[in-house]
Amino acid sequence: MGEGLIPNPPKMYPPEGPPTKLSADDWTLFDKVTYGGLGYGAFVLPSNFFIIIVTCIFPPLGQIINILGNSIISTPPFFTLECLKLMLLPKNFTKIINSVLLTSLFYIPGLVYVLGNIVDDDNYAIASTLYPSGLTTTKQSNK
């Protein structure tokens, strides 16, 4: 009587583990999401993934998170006086006001502005780690 209740029972993995297709990384990301298997290989999200998602939802909040960066602490109170001082610097305050004004102009200009700022900040961080002394050019004199 119990036979035939499930027309196509799921296939179990053999005792030696999952199929070799998973371990050989022959599956695309779509295959891994659709058929399972995200736990078998490397799945990497960019470091600013959270900021990009928040920016797509509400660009000025993404700009604030981008400005604060690592100054938010992990214990209460999360938002300290140092965070407020950092946000009220003239350069940062101008970025926040610009993002609010541009977002009020039908959302897309503010989104493009804030995503551009995120990319610029990431490029600056990469360049400052690669070239700690800065990118300077020197003139060579012909003697």
Is residue 110 domain-shared with residue 77, that is, in the same domain? yes
Q: 37 versus 24: which is more confidently predicted?
A: 37
Is residue 66 domain-shared with residue 122, that is, in the same domain? yes
Q: What's the whole-model pTM score?
A: 0.65
Q: Provide the token pair at 59.
A: 């660009």
Please indicate, yes or no, if residue 3 is contained in any of the structural domains. no
* Per-residue pLDDT reduced to its tens digit, 126-139: 778 888 776 655 55
Query: How many distinct structural domains can be found in the chain?
Result: 2
Please indicate, yes or no, if residue 125 is contained in any of the structural domains. yes
Is residue 107 domain-shared with residue 74, that is, in the same domain? yes
Structural domain that includes position 31? 16-45
Is residue 40 domain-shared with residue 65, that is, in the same domain? no
Please indicate, yes or no, if residue 37 is contained in any of the structural domains. yes
